[in-house]
Each structure stands twice: as structure tokens, then as C-alpha cells.
């Protein structure tokens, strides 16, 4: 059993490493732009213009929207393992282009390509982790991608501080290749194998992820449950309403598996139709969509943008150090979630985090409005805000993304939600200057604080507590809460 958990950890680490590379490439322009814009630059044939510099930072987000859209198609067609290798290739290709190119256009094209890989991994990691993680460690494993993203930020800031341009590129190529190598050693997802009607391979995969023999009752029962979930009726029935029927069906399924027979399949809905018509899936999609939207409008992206200017104003000589500390705060917040998500629960983390974020945003707004403390205090406030945001409000929605959907709709729901995240991030960055113009910086932070209070209130009444529950129990909870 312990070996199975270790293998689950390894798989989560392998898929999360793609988020590490995304974090690294996202902040790469912060210490590279000055090299590209210098009049005497030797890296490019001609210095970059202001519009090209803007694209250098924004093109990965545009590529990410495409990567998220194609991710589900790829991993459903060729599998989670080979699909993961395929979506890793844009990373390797983009950094290789940057290394050999002296053309601004080619470098911008490479940044777009890298975003395709990053967006794909943001959707891919929750899907794969949800399909292999067992209940007792699911929350911790689901936090891996966010922790890895923070580690990518940290390592990239440190590399930019100490290493040369070409060494940084080669280290990123090495890391991208490492993702491919690690994914090559993972087992295929049992969910994908069942969908392909490869029951014997699914049995072996489950055995590896659970650390037991392929003939064990644990594997037989989980395989039966998985097959039942992947052939759902038009509406899920509450466990409590028909427990005896479910028990009989489970026993029959296990007998069929042992005898090598398969029941005739019933007609079933398409995943997209099931997502929006089946009560549990529809409610899960609505709740997660609301809290992830409010998460973005709690202002972390524009506050990060503003933080860079604050660091330079507070102490230009230590701006690199502040950036590294900021990344460490980011990681520590995510790591705290990974450590306590399966103890404290998901709901309480979102509520506490959102309230603390609102408090510190009010303090930040007052500092902007009244200047009641030195500039370094502003840096400290931003660091505290970031930590409070990351340990709950930022991370828990992605844990829920791996938990609250039945396997039949997991892929399509993940893709739609991640696409929505990229879009609303684009919106908040776009409207932020207008908010500042009309309401002032302090007024904008007060608005973000109000969203934090709304998020805490909504989560208290609407977010289900999924700690320690199986996927079937979560679906039952969603149906009962709906009623």
C-alpha cells in the first residue's frame, strides 16, 4: 500500500513539473527584457520595440488558451502518458528556437508556442492526478502543480539574478526534457484504459497505483466502481436512496469482471451534455466556476504586477532579492495547503484565506491612500497578502477541480474552467488600469477586498466539504445539497 502511495506521489510530481516550467518561462521576460531592448544588444539583430516587449510577456497567455483547448482532445485520443509527452514538446521546441534565434519575430513565436504547452499542462495535471490519487492524499497531490509553479518562479528569479542568458536557456531546455523523461516512466491512467475497454491493463495500472496485486479485492472493487462511473445513467441516484440496488449492482459487476464477461452498454449522454444536464455535475460546475472567478477578481495578478514597481521603488538595489522572497512566499502558501488540505478541509481553507485576503487588501489600500508607513511596509503587506491568498483561495479551487466531477465529465469540465481562467485573467489585467484611473489604486484594492468577503460568504453556504470523501460520495453530496 505504501509503495502505491509513493507511486501516486511520483506521478503527481511528474505531471506537476510541467507547471514548474510554465512558472519559469512566465517570469523570464522580467530579467531578459532589458537585454532585448538595449540599443547595443548582441542577442538580436535589432532591439525590440515597445509593442514587441509587450508581446514578449503576453503571448504565452494567448498560446495557453489554445493549449488548454487541445489538451483534452490529445489525452483522450492517445492517452494520459503519451499525451503528456506530446504536450511537453512545445516547451522543448520553444526554448530551442530562442537559443538559436536572433530574430524578434522568432522569439515571439517561441513564446507563443511555450504558452501552448503551459496551458495544456494546467488542464492536464488536475485530470491525471484526479484519476490516480486515492482519497487520503488527494488534496495534497492536487496541490503539487501550484507548488511546482511557485518553485518555477523562484528558480527563474534566482537564475536571472546569477546566470547568463544562454545558461538560463539551456537549463530550461534540460528541465523540459526532464519532464518528458519522468512522464515516460509513469503508468497509464486506469480511467483512460477502462474507456478504451482495456480492462486487464486497467487492472494492472490500478494495482501499481494502489501497491497491491492485480488480483486483489481492492483492485476488483475499484475497477468495478470505475466502470460503473464511466457508464452513468442519465441522472445519478443518491447513495442513500437506493443503497441496496447499488450493492447488488456492484456485486454483479465484480462477478462479471471475475468471469471475464461484460454487461451490455446502455446508451449514454455525451460528456458536454451530461455536464450541463446532470444535477451533480451542473452544480459542481456552477460552484467551482463562481469561486474561481472570484479568486481571480481578488486581484493577485494585478497586485503582482504592481509589486514589481513597489520593489524597485522601495529599494532598487534589492529588487531581485524581493522578487525571490515573493516567490518563496508564493511557495510557502501553496505548501501549507498541501500539508493541511486533507486535515483542515477544503471549505474552511477557502473561507479563512478569503477573509484574511480582504483584511490585508484593505490595509494595502489604506497604505496607498494615506501613506501611513514607509515604502518597505508596502512590500511587507504585499508579501503577507500573497501568502494569505495562496494557502487557500488560490489553491483550493484547483484541488476541487480534481475532486468534484465524475470521471465522465472531468476532462471537458477541466478544459472549460481552465479556458475561463485564462480569459478572466486577461480581463482583469485589461480593466485594472481603468479601475485605477476611476477609483484610484486604493479604491481598486478596496474593491478586491469586497470580492474576498463575497468569496468567503459564498463558500460558507455553497462549497461542499469534500475532505475524505470518495468521488461517488461527493456526487451524492452534490445531489442531496441541490435538493
Q: What is the dihedral of CA 210, 212, 213, 214, to 10 degrees?
A: -20
**Distance, CA of 206 to CA of 186 (rounded, Å):** 12
User: Do residues 233 and 280 touch, judged by C-beta distance below 8 A?
Assistant: no
Contacts of 216 (CB under 8 A, 6+ apart): 207, 210
| pLDDT attached to residue 480 | 78
**What pTM was computed for the model?**
0.74
Question: What are the cell numbers at 406?
Answer: 465524475
Length of the chain: 483
- The 3-state DSSP class for residue 88 equals helix
Same domain, 201 and 149: no
C-alpha dihedral sign at 142, 143, 144, 145: positive
- The 3-state DSSP class for residue 230 equals coil
Same domain, 251 and 333: no
The secondary structure of 292-350 as a DSSP string is HHHHHTT-HHHHHHHHHHHHHHH-GGGHHHHHHHHHHHHHHHHHHHHHHHHHH-HHHHH
Task: Determine, yes or no, domain membership for 191.
Answer: no
The one-character DSSP state at 163 is S
Task: Determine, yes or no, domain membership for 240.
Answer: no
Same domain, 135 and 223: no
Contacts of 272 (CB under 8 A, 6+ apart): 412
Task: Determine, yes or no, domain membership for 238.
Answer: no
Same domain, 133 and 220: no
Same domain, 274 and 382: yes
Q: Work out the number of other CB atoms within 10 angstroms of the CB of residue 430.
A: 9
Among 186, 221, 255, the domain-final residue is 186
Region label for 371, one of left (φ > 0), alpha (ψ between -120 and 50) or beta (otherwise) = left
- The 3-state DSSP class for residue 33 equals helix
**Distance, CA of 339 to CA of 156 (rounded, Å):** 24
Task: Determine, yes or no, domain membership for 236.
Answer: no
Same domain, 142 and 274: no
Task: Determine, yes or no, domain membership for 94.
Answer: yes
The one-character DSSP state at 137 is G
Task: Determine, yes or no, domain membership for 476.
Answer: yes
- The 3-state DSSP class for residue 100 equals helix
**Distance, CA of 148 to CA of 162 (rounded, Å):** 21
End-to-end CA distance of the chain: 38
| pLDDT attached to residue 60 | 85
**Distance, CA of 421 to CA of 293 (rounded, Å):** 7
Q: Give the rounded distance of the alpha carbon of 135 from its chain centre.
A: 19
Same domain, 385 and 311: yes
Same domain, 319 and 453: yes
Q: What is the dihedral of CA 417, 26, 59, 119, to 10 degrees?
A: -30
Contacts of 347 (CB under 8 A, 6+ apart): 459, 460, 463, 464, 465
**Distance, CA of 241 to CA of 234 (rounded, Å):** 16
- How far, in Å, are 30, 111, 114, 159, 245 from residue 153 at the CA level? 11, 16, 15, 10, 51
**Distance, CA of 199 to CA of 473 (rounded, Å):** 24
Split into its structural domains, the chain has a count of: 3
Same domain, 112 and 11: yes
- Residue-level pLDDT, tens digit, the chain, 483 residues: 678 889 999 999 999 999 899 888 888 887 888 888 888 888 888 888 878 887 887 788 888 888 988 888 899 889 999 999 999 999 999 999 999 988 989 999 999 999 999 889 988 988 898 888 888 787 788 888 888 888 888 888 888 888 899 999 999 999 999 999 999 999 999 988 988 889 899 899 988 998 888 888 888 888 888 888 776 544 444 444 444 444 455 555 554 544 544 444 445 678 888 888 888 899 999 999 999 999 989 988 777 666 666 677 666 777 778 878 888 888 888 778 777 777 777 889 999 999 999 999 999 999 988 888 887 888 889 889 989 998 888 888 888 888 888 888 888 888 889 888 888 877 887 787 788 888 888 899 999 999 999 999 999 999 888 887 888 888 888 887 655
Q: Work out the number of other CB atoms within 10 angstroms of the CB of residue 241.
A: 11
Task: Determine, yes or no, domain membership for 56.
Answer: yes
Question: What are the cell numbers at 222?
Answer: 475499484
CATH code of the domain in which 67 resides? 1.20.1250.20
| pLDDT attached to residue 481 | 62
> How many alpha carbons fall within 13 Å on the CB side of residue 261?
7
Q: Find the DSSP H helices in 163-196.
A: 165-184, 190-195
Same domain, 143 and 250: no
> How many alpha carbons fall within 13 Å on the CB side of residue 401?
31
Task: Determine, yes or no, domain membership for 223.
Answer: yes
What residue has cell string 501549507?
A: 336
Same domain, 178 and 216: no
| pLDDT attached to residue 447 | 94
User: Do residues 141 and 9 touch, judged by C-beta distance below 8 A?
Assistant: yes
Q: What angle do CA 469, 133, 60 make, to 5 degrees?
A: 115
Domain that holds residue 412: 269-483
User: Do residues 137 and 425 touch, judged by C-beta distance below 8 A?
Assistant: no
The secondary structure of 372-421 as a DSSP string is -S-HHHHHHHHHHHHHHIIIIITTHHHHHHTTSS-HHHHHHHHHHHHHHH
> How many alpha carbons fall within 13 Å on the CB side of residue 405?
33
| pLDDT attached to residue 144 | 86
**Distance, CA of 325 to CA of 157 (rounded, Å):** 10
Same domain, 96 and 211: no
Amino acid at each position: 500500500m505504501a509503495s502505491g502511495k509513493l507511486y501516486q506521489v511520483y506521478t503527481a510530481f511528474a505531471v506537476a513539473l510541467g507547471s514548474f516550467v510554465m512558472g519559469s518561462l512566465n517570469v523570464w521576460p522580467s530579467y531578459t527584457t532589458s537585454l532585448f531592448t538595449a540599443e547595443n544588444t548582441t542577442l538580436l539583430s535589432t532591439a525590440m520595440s515597445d509593442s514587441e516587449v509587450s508581446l514578449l510577456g503576453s503571448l504565452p497567455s494567448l498560446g495557453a488558451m489554445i493549449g488548454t483547448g487541445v489538451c483534452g482532445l490529445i489525452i483522450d485520443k492517445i492517452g494520459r502518458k503519451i499525451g503528456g509527452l506530446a504536450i511537453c514538446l512545445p516547451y522543448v521546441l520553444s526554448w530551442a528556437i530562442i537559443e538559436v534565434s536572433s530574430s524578434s519575430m522568432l522569439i515571439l513565436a517561441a513564446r507563443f508556442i511555450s504558452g501552448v504547452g503551459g496551458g495544456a499542462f494546467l488542464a492536464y495535471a488536475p485530470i491525471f492526478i484526479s484519476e490516480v490519487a486515492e482519497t487520503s492524499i488527494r488534496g495534497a497531490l492536487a496541490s503539487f502543480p501550484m507548488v511546482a509553479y511557485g518553485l518555477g518562479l523562484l528558480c527563474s528569479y534566482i537564475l536571472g539574478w546569477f546566470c547568463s542568458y544562454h545558461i538560463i536557456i539551456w537549463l530550461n531546455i534540460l528541465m523540459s526534457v526532464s519532464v518528458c523523461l519522468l512522464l515516460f516512466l509513469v503508468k497509464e491512467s486506469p480511467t483512460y484504459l477502462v474507456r478504451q475497454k482495456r480492462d486487464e491493463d486497467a487492472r494492472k495500472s490500478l494495482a501499481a497505483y494502489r501497491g497491491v496485486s492485480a488480483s486483489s479485492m481492492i483492485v476488483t472493487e475499484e475497477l468495478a466502481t470505475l466502470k460503473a462511473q464511466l457508464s452513468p445513467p442519465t441522472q445519478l441516484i443518491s447513495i442513500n436512496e437506493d443503497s441496496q440496488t447499488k450493492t447488488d449492482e456492484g456485486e454483479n459487476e465484480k462477478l462479471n469482471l471475475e468471469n471475464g464477461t461484460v454487461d451490455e452498454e446502455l446508451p449514454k449522454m455525451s460528456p458536454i451534455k451530461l455536464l450541463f444536464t446532470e444535477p451533480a455535475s451542473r452544480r459542481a460546475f456552477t460552484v467551482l466556476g463562481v469561486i474561481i472567478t472570484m479568486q481571480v477578481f481578488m486581484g493577485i495578478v494585478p497586485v503582482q504586477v504592481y509589486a514589481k514597481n513597489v520593489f524597485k521603488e522601495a529599494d532598487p538595489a534589492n529588487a531581485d532579492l524581493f522578487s525571490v522572497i515573493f516567490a518563496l512566499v508564493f511557495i510557502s502558501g501553496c505548501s501549507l495547503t498541501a500539508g493541511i488540505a486533507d486535515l483542515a478541509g477544503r471549505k474552511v481553507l477557502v473561507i479563512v484565506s478569503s477573509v484574511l485576503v480582504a483584511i490585508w487588501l484593505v490595509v494595502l489600500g489604506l497604505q496607498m491612500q494615506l501613506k501611513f508607513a514607509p515604502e518597505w511596509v508596502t512590500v511587507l503587506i504585499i508579501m503577507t497578502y500573497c501568502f494569505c491568498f495562496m494557502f487557500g483561495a488560490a489553491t483550493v479551487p484547483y484541488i476541487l477541480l480534481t475532486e468534484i466531477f465524475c470521471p465522465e465529465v472531468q476532462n471537458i469540465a477541466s478544459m472549460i474552467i481552465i479556458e475561463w481562467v485564462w480569459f478572466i485573467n486577461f480581463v482583469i489585467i485589461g480593466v485594472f488600469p481603468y479601475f485605477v484611473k476611476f477609483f484610484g489604486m486604493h479604491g481598486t484594492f478596496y474593491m478586491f477586498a469586497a470580492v474576498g468577503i463575497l468569496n468567503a460568504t459564498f463558500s460558507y453556504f455553497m462549497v461542499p466539504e469534500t475532505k475524505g470523501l470518495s468521488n461517488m460520495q461527493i456526487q451524492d453530496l452534490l445531489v442531496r445539497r441541490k435538493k
